[in-house]
Amino acid sequence: MTSIPSTMKALVAKGFSLDSLELADRPVPQPRRGEILIRVRAVSLNYRDLAVLTGTYIPNLPLPFVPASDACGTVVAIGEEVNRFAVGDRVTPIYTQGWHDGLPTPQQRSSRTLGAPLDGVLQTYIVVPAEDAVRAPDLLSDQEASTLPIAGLTAWSALAEGNVKPGDTVLVQGSGGVALFALQFAKAAGATVIATSSSDAKLEKMKVLGADIGINYRTTPEWEHAVKDVTGGRGADLIVETGGATLSQSLTATAFGGFVAVVGFVAGYNATIQLRQLIGPVVRVQGIAVGSRARFDAMNRAIAANNIRPVIDSTRDISDAVAAFKHMEGGSHFGKVVVTL
Ligand SMILES: NC(=O)c1ccc[n+]([C@@H]2O[C@H](COP(=O)([O-])OP(=O)(O)OC[C@H]3O[C@@H](n4cnc5c(N)ncnc54)[C@H](OP(=O)(O)O)[C@@H]3O)[C@@H](O)[C@H]2O)c1
């Protein structure tokens, strides 16, 4: 058994910019009753991390803080009364700590998320309650499993809330982390997938992953009509709305009785819609906030059953984490940007 040091490396934000990130030494935390100590091996970055680092996403976030939410590592010590895990188990902490099933409480949603307001995972060791982690799927590497807590689970929840079924048409917007997982899960569910992207090269890669139709939203800015055209006028049964400001276009692209899972805001936070886009076609629109531990377990079973491998764009060591953030900010990535520790 490897010994646990007394100090560790942590990536600390001392201000609200990527250039304020610094590696610092911190004491290794000790697990208390019901908690596990995890030696973090891989962290995947999310669009949210960039938003948090601007200082606008979570108002009045105290400095300094450790960013990032999604990690995979190995349990190296357990507190008293931990039966859920043993030393040596590979685990991923859940993003919304304490949300185990059903809906979270408002308090869990606003104050119990890893990577702000709770301390983030870009540090060599973290402690979480044993109840707030799940076992990593055996078929995935640490790096692959680190992509699941936000990007994977959000895509899974969007499709689960939309009751995806074989024969449905699912539209995913862009080639970001959530969209790629949604593509993979939708194909596993037997759906036809329409993908949009600003890049023809990325659309080709999405077709390799199983996308049936690709639409370039730069060269076809009115892509909602293209969606209607390629579906014979029906539209998409389920849309994973990562654009946000594109909601009105998505509603136009939705089939009668369809579902829009409102997930993100990469195109902007504000959208203007016509109420008749909802009423006449009886469209359901629902916000998605990642997902519960029960959903995480269900997703992991589907990943194992369907041999789904998360798409990794690139991997960098924690000493190069700022470059990893800047790479993601640049937008050329395809798949998840991962930091190893
Ligand atoms: N609600 C939740 O629970 C939840 C969970 C996770 C993420 N999110 C949010 O969902 C969004 C996506 O997150 P992510 O982690 O998947 O991001 P990401 O990996 O950084 O990907 C962003 C992608 O969005 C695409 N994009 C940019 N502008 C677009 C536009 N105008 N229309 C359509 N696509 C556009 C780009 O794809 P191309 O390069 O292919 O054009 C870009 O690669 C973010 O707003 C994030 O905060 C929400």
Q: Contact at 8 Å (CB) between 285 and 258?
A: no
First-residue to last-residue Cα distance in the chain: 19
Does residue 105 fall inside a structural domain? yes
Rounded Cα distance between 296 and 97, Å, is: 13
Q: Three-class SS of residue 16? A: coil
In total, how many domains does the chain have? 2
| Domain shared by 276 and 316, yes or no | no
Distance (Å) of CA 164 to CA 153, 182, 224, 260: 15, 11, 20, 12
| Chain CA centroid to CA 47, Å | 9
Show the tokens assigned to 102.
């059903």
**Ligand 1 atom closest to 262 (CA):** 1
For residue 232, the model assigns a pLDDT of 98
Q: Could you report the per-residue pLDDT of 243-292, keeping only the tens digit for each?
A: 999 999 999 999 999 999 999 999 999 999 999 999 999 999 999 999 99
In this structure, the chain runs to a length of 341
pLDDT at 321: 97
Structural domain includes residue 1: no
Report if residue 300 sits inside a domain. Answer: no
- For the stretch 128-169, pLDDT in tens is 999 999 999 999 999 999 999 999 999 999 999 999 999 999
Range of 234's domain?
153-287
Distance CA 78, CA 51 (A): 33
Do residues 11 and 62 share a domain? yes
* pLDDT tens column, 6-60: 999 999 999 999 999 999 999 999 999 999 999 999 999 999 999 999 888 898 8
Mutate which of 99, 198, 204, 266 to test ligand 1's pocket (most atoms within 8 Å of Cβ)? Answer: 266
Give yes or no: residues 142 and 38 share one domain.
yes
Residues 239 and 265 in one domain: yes
Q: What is the mean pLDDT of the chain?
A: 97
Ligand 1 proximity of 96 Cβ (cutoff 6 Å): no
Same domain, 266 and 315: no
Residues 181 and 230 in one domain: yes
Residue 206 clears pLDDT 80, i.e. is over it: yes
In a domain, residue 299? The reply is no
Clarify whether residues 88 and 109 are in a common domain. Answer: yes
Dihedral of alpha carbons 185, 339, 295, 154, sign: negative
The answer to whether the CB of 221 is under 6 A from ligand 1 is: no
* Dist. CA 237–CA 239, nearest whole Å: 7
- 177 with 234, same domain? yes
292 within a domain of the structure (yes/no): no
Write down the pLDDT at residue 1: 55
Distance CA 325, CA 13 (A): 12
Give the model's confidence band at 228: pLDDT under 50 very low, under 70 low, under 90 confident, else very high. very high
Residues 160 and 262 in one domain: yes
Cα 311 vs. chain centroid, distance in angstroms?
12
At 34, which helix (H) or strand (E)? none
Instruction: Report if residue 298 sits inside a domain.
Output: no
Mean pLDDT of 174-185: 97
Query: Does 226 have pLDDT greater than 70?
Result: yes
pLDDT above 70 covers what percent of the chain?
99
Question: Is the CB–ligand 1 distance for residue 242 below 6 Å?
Answer: yes
CATH number at residue 19: 3.90.180.10
**What was the pLDDT predicted at 55?**
87
Based on the domain organization, do 90 and 65 belong to the same domain?
Answer: yes
Looking at the fold, whether 244 and 334 belong to one and the same domain comes out as no
Q: Tell me, what's the pLDDT at 288?
A: 98
**Ligand 1 near 319 CB (within 6 A):** no
Q: Which atom of ligand 1 is nearest to the CA of 288?
A: 1
Q: Which atom from ligand 1 is nearest to the alpha carbon of 331?
A: 43
139-175 burial code (b ≥16 CB/10 A, e <16): ebbbbbbbbbbbbbbbbbbbbbbbebeeebbbbbbbb
Whether 266 lines ligand 1, by a CB cut-off of 6 Å, is: yes
State the closest ligand 1 atom to the C-alpha of 265, by its place in the atom list counted from 1. Answer: 45
Q: What is the CATH number of the domain that holds 257?
A: 3.40.50.720
